[in-house]
């Protein structure tokens, strides 16, 4: 079990426009216990302003952007910068999500550049790492995680707040969940490597989230695994009741 305040994060991907976002927030009424988790939500960019203005009074949730371009501005049709996301209320930025890496071809270098840009704009990066099924079957779990971390950890050296998410690609949106033992093994590798690169004290401060087919039915056992400090949830974060249930389980 984590020594950190647990973190429950929802990644909506390409779901919920502004109206659906307001409806979600109206219905999202978790009743967390004494140790309320930190709640993060990553709506689509067009819904960010609706989300941050809806929540402005209560400030229950920290909102983030799912993707930004690494440049500050320029001729990049269709893209947005980290600074623009911050201007509409984003406080965090997901970087290196497996869909960005595998569907949109983002390299480790690009993920590092986006992390740098997020930090420069004052956003807290949530860096995602994880192996594909083929890589896992070839016994490359450690090689892949360390390669992805090596690209990005130097950027986190001076960051005051940053998170890492372990998301095995084979478990994302597939209904296949890593066992708590699988998660604990990968999280221990990540923690050990962060300690080697950033120093043990700094490595302890960075929460490591697990993501991949998390549901209310498996959230508790995943959260109880060693070194699992929180959860990054896709599908089950779209419904306010199931997301609230996971928040309550984490308190």
- Residues of this chain that interact with ligand PGA (CB under 6 A) are 11, 167, 172-173, 211-214, 232-236
Rounded least distance, CB 192 to ligand PGA, Å: 23
Closer to ligand PGA by Cβ: residue 198 or 247: 247
Alpha-carbon span 178 to 146, nearest angstrom: 19
Closer to ligand PGA by Cβ: residue 198 or 242: 242
Rounded least distance, CB 144 to ligand PGA, Å: 17
Beta-carbon count within 10 A of 146 CB: 18
Do residues 29 and 7 touch, judged by C-beta distance below 8 A?
A: no
Could you give the residue numbers annotated as active site?
97, 167
Rounded least distance, CB 164 to ligand PGA, Å: 13
Closer to ligand PGA by Cβ: residue 6 or 212: 212
For 36, which DSSP code?
P
Q: Which of 115, 112, 124, 118 is nearest to 148 (CA)?
A: 112
Rounded least distance, CB 161 to ligand PGA, Å: 20
Comparing every residue's Cβ against ligand PGA, the nearest one is 234
Alpha-carbon span 163 to 205, nearest angstrom: 9
Rounded least distance, CB 236 to ligand PGA, Å: 6
Rounded least distance, CB 173 to ligand PGA, Å: 4
Do residues 64 and 126 touch, judged by C-beta distance below 8 A?
A: yes
Alpha-carbon span 42 to 143, nearest angstrom: 29
Closer to ligand PGA by Cβ: residue 190 or 214: 214
Alpha-carbon span 187 to 226, nearest angstrom: 8
Closer to ligand PGA by Cβ: residue 187 or 198: 187
218 to 23, 113, 222: CA distances (angstroms): 26, 34, 6
Closer to ligand PGA by Cβ: residue 42 or 54: 42
178 to 11, 35, 93, 170: CA distances (angstroms): 18, 26, 24, 9
Helix axes 18-27, 240-249, angle to 10 degrees: 50
Do residues 129 and 172 touch, judged by C-beta distance below 8 A?
A: no
């Amino acid at each position: 079990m984590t020594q950190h305040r647990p973190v429950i994060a929802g990644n909506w991907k390409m779901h919920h426009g502004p109206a659906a976002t307001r409806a979600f927030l109206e219905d999202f009424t978790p009743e967390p216990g004494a140790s309320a988790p930190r709640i993060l939500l990553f709506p689509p960019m067009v819904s960010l302003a609706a989300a941050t203005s809806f929540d402005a009074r209560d400030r229950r949730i920290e909102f983030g952007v799912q993707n930004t371009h690494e440049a500050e501005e320029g001729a990049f049709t269709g893209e947005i910068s980290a600074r623009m996301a911050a201007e509409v209320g984003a406080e965090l930025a997901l970087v290196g999500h497996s869909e960005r890496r595998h569907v949109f071809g983002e390299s480790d270098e690009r993920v590092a550049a986006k992390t740098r840009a997020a930090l420069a704009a004052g956003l807290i990066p949530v860096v995602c790492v994880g192996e594909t099924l083929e890589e896992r079957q070839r016994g490359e779990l450690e090689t892949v995680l360390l390669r992805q971390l090596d690209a990005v950890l130097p950027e986190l050296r001076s960051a005051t707040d940053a998170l890492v998410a372990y998301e095995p690609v084979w478990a994302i949106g597939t209904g296949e969940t890593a066992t708590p033992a699988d998660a604990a093994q990968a999280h221990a590798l990540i923690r050990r490597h962060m300690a080697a690169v950033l120093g043990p004290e700094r490595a302890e401060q960075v929460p490591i989230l697990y993501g991949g087919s998390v549901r209310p039915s498996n959230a508790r056992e995943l959260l109880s695994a060693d070194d699992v400090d929180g959860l990054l949830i896709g599908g089950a974060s779209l419904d306010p009741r199931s997301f609230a249930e996971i928040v309550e389980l984490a308190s």
